Structures are given as structure tokens and as C-alpha cells.
Amino acid sequence: MTASSGLFGREIYTPTKLAARVQESFDQEIGSVWVEGEISELSLPPSGHAYFCLKDGQSRLKAVMWKGRRSYAGSALSEGLTVLARGRLAVYAPRGEFQLVADYLEPRGEGALRLAFEKLKAQLEREGLFDPGRKRPLPFWPRRVAVVSSPVGAAVRDFIQTARARMPGADICLYPVRVQGDGAAAEIAEALADLNAWGGFDLIVITRGGGSLSDLWAFNEEAVVRAVAASRTPTLAAIGHSTDLSLAELAADHRAITPTAAAEAVFRDRAALLHHVDGLRAALARSLYGMLELRRERLEAARRRLSRGLTGALLDRRYRFEYLLQRLERFEGRLERDRQHLLALHDRLGRAMRGRLAAQAHRLEKAAVRLHDLSPENVLRRGYALVTRGPGAKPVASAASLAVGEEVSVRLADGAFTSVITNIESRS
């Protein structure tokens, strides 16, 4: 790309040509670059492209990821996430700006941990490990409590001091583990398995002090979360001092914000509890005395009412019994009258049915005689004949339908013969 020559041999560029020259320099001298920064001003329009900025403490770089490369970003394309972006620098000539055309993104630092956290959280949540329905209550008065923590940290010291102050002589067993760094998750999971295998504990407390997401990461490892969820002994987790929950806390039966709060939740204040019990004992005694006095007064009143009302009640029962006996006698008499009436109706119904059947039988006999007289056989015996013709032996009903020379069949009462028509006489 060359510029035009001007006065005194100076190179003169137009904005478009200069942008092309800068783009050429980018392509030849810089090429593909890796840039680390935090995503901000993320815009995801319907076109499918992604527009955002990469920023650090001092500068910001505009960037774009075209629709066809979005699949290479995955979940790393999120507002506020620190990422490592690969791409090439490009000049956007209409605005005179340059930007990074990214073709790949991957999370960095705590951003990567946060993505891993959310992915594992979603998986274990689908499996039901965080279901509130599986949570068990804390023991009201635990006899033995196991603590899984670092033996040199402030967390276990705060827990034990608070427990001793609230419940002198509390039976606490410390299972020492690393709570940060390589191998910490394996030690915590093994501690939970051992304590459940040994048995004899009413509660297992898992605790450590605060820290960053990476410091607390051992409590987000899948092995630890599953060990907490699988514990046959109820669990309480007090991890960190932030509002962000670890996955171990989500899987535990209960959670406390600090080790001190955990000890306060587990061990009840003995002095306060004894004072409360004394108050309850006095209140119970007063309640029982009042209740007994009320029952005594009610019993005495009932005795007086019973004494006054016993004679009247017996007389009332006697009068009622005599009244019911009279009603029963009247009912028996009415029942006998109804029975006699029913027998008379039954006799009348029998006579009526027999008369009706005799009349119907007589009518049926007369109809049978008439039907017999009208049968074709009796008609033929009285001298009549049945004339038929044709293959179907169709009856001849009219002389006008016959022709001279036609052959017909004639049936009589005792036989039949064939005849040929020689003459036809019709009646008009």
C-alpha cells in the first residue's frame, strides 16, 4: 500500500489508506496474539456475534467474536470473568479504532475455578445431594463431637474455646487434616470415611477459617462433597467467612458462618439452659396446681348436680318407658289389622286373575276356530280351486290376464290337473 506524493516529496495518506496500512502492519508484524483481561461491556445481539472489552487495571481493548467462532468460547464468555483470548488485531476504518478479533477464549485464575464450581454444583444438585429433604436435625445434647480441621489453625481453637465455655467437659475429638493445597481434599474425605467407620459420634463438624475461592477449593472438590453427603453421622460445616457457600456446606446437614457460631449451634449454654429448666419447672408446678384445683372444683359441682338431678332423671326415664310401651301396644294392634287387610286383598286378587285368564282362554279358542275355517285347505274342500301359471306357479287373480291356448295348473282339495285355455269369458 503506497501513499500519494505531495509537496516536497511528503507521503500523504487518506484515512482509509492509513487504516489499510496499519492493518497491513498488524498482520505482518504482530499476527496472532494472546491477551488476558476481564470481560466487560458484553453485548450479545440477535446476529450471534459477541462484542465486549478486555480490561486490566489501566486500559481497555475492544474485542469482537464472530458468530462462527462463538462455540470456541463456551461458558468463558461471561461478564466480569477473567479470560485468556487469542486473536488478531484489526482496524475498524469507519471509526478509526482498532480491536481484537478473537477466535478462542478460555477462563483464567478464579474465573476458571468459578466455572468449575458452577458445573459441579449443577451436576450434584441434579443428583439430589443438596436436597433440603435429606437434611437431618442437629442433636439436642451431643455427647461426642468430632471436628475435622487443621490442628494449627485459628478455626479449631475458636471452636474448642467456645464449646468449653458453653459446655464444660464437652467430649470433642479432633481429626487433623490439611484444609488447603494439594492433597487436602483427599485427607478431608478420608477423615469423614474413618469417623463414620469408627462410629460413636453424634455429630461431625468440618471447619476452617476464611480465604479466597482458591484457598477454600478443597471443600469444593467432588470427593469431599460426596463424602459429606454420604456421612451416616449428621454433619455441620463452618467454612470461610464470606457469603459464598462451598459445595461441602451445601451438602452438609447444617451450616454455620464461623467456627464460633458452629460451637454455639452445637453446644447449648449450660448455665442458661439450667436457668431455663428451673423456670420451666416452676411454671409447670404452677400450671399443675391450677389444673388440679380447677378439676377439683368441677368435680364438686358435678357431684352436687348429680345428687339433685338423680331422682328427677329416674322418674323421667320411667314415664318415658311407660309411654313407649303404650305406643308399642297400639302399633301391634295396627299391625294385625294391616295383616288381615293384606290377606283379603290377596284373596281378591287371586279370584280376579283366575276369571281374567278364563275369559282370555275362551276368546283364544273362538279365534282358533275362525282361523281354521278360513285356511286355504278348508276353502278348497268347499269346492273352490286354485289356478296358477308359469314357472313360479303364480296365482291367477283375473281372467283378463289369461290368453287362449295358455296352459295353467288347477289345484283342488284332493289333487291337481293341468288345463289349456280354449275360451275366456270376462265379467264387466
Q: What is the pLDDT of residues 348-402, one digit of tens each?
A: 888 888 888 888 888 888 888 888 777 777 877 888 888 888 777 888 878 878 8
Residue 278 falls inside a structural domain: no
Whether residue 20 is found in the same domain as residue 137: no
Residue 104: band (very low, low, confident or very high) from pLDDT cuts 50, 70, 90: confident
Whether residue 133 is found in the same domain as residue 265: yes
CATH for 197: 3.40.50.261
CATH for 98: 2.40.50.140
Which residue bears the cell 467432588?
222
Separation of alpha carbons 148 and 261, rounded Å: 16
Whether residue 181 is found in the same domain as residue 227: yes
Residue 154 falls inside a structural domain: yes
* pLDDT (0 to 100) of residue 316: 77
Residues 6+ apart with CB under 8 A from 10: none
Residue 294 falls inside a structural domain: no
Residue 20 falls inside a structural domain: yes
Instruction: Judge whether residue 6 has pLDDT over 60.
Output: no
Helix axis angle, 184-198 to 222-230, nearest 10°: 10
CA 163 to chain centre: 42
* For residues 234-259, average pLDDT: 87
Instruction: Judge whether residue 307 has pLDDT over 90.
Output: no
Residue 284 exposed, middle or buried by CB count within 10 Å (0-12, 13-18, 19+): exposed
Whether residue 52 is found in the same domain as residue 155: no
Say if residues 195 and 176 touch (Cβ distance below 8 Å): no
Residue 352 falls inside a structural domain: no
Domain residues for the domain of 222 are 129-271
Q: Which of 37-51, 159-173, 273-287, 402-416 has the lowest mean pLDDT?
A: 273-287
For the chain, the domain total comes to 3
Whether residue 16 is found in the same domain as residue 102: yes
Whether residue 92 is found in the same domain as residue 182: no
Residue 292 falls inside a structural domain: no
Whether residue 136 is found in the same domain as residue 211: yes
Q: What is the pLDDT of residues 127-153, one digit of tens each?
A: 999 999 999 999 988 999 999 999 998
Whether residue 35 is found in the same domain as residue 95: yes
Whether residue 142 is found in the same domain as residue 264: yes
Q: Which residue has the higher pLDDT, 377 or 154?
A: 154
What pTM was estimated for this model as a whole?
0.47
Q: What is the pLDDT of residues 34-93, one digit of tens each?
A: 888 888 999 999 999 999 999 988 899 999 999 988 877 766 788 888 888 888 988 888
Residue 240 exposed, middle or buried by CB count within 10 Å (0-12, 13-18, 19+): buried
Identify the three-state secondary structure at position 230. Answer: helix
Instruction: Judge whether residue 237 has pLDDT over 90.
Output: yes
Residue 15 falls inside a structural domain: yes
Separation of alpha carbons 105 and 84, rounded Å: 6
Instruction: Judge whether residue 207 has pLDDT over 90.
Output: yes
> Which CA distances in Å does 380 have to 169, 317, 390, 416?
132, 93, 21, 11
Whether residue 86 is found in the same domain as residue 134: no
Residue 48 falls inside a structural domain: yes
* pLDDT (0 to 100) of residue 295: 86
Whether residue 254 is found in the same domain as residue 185: yes
* pLDDT (0 to 100) of residue 81: 82
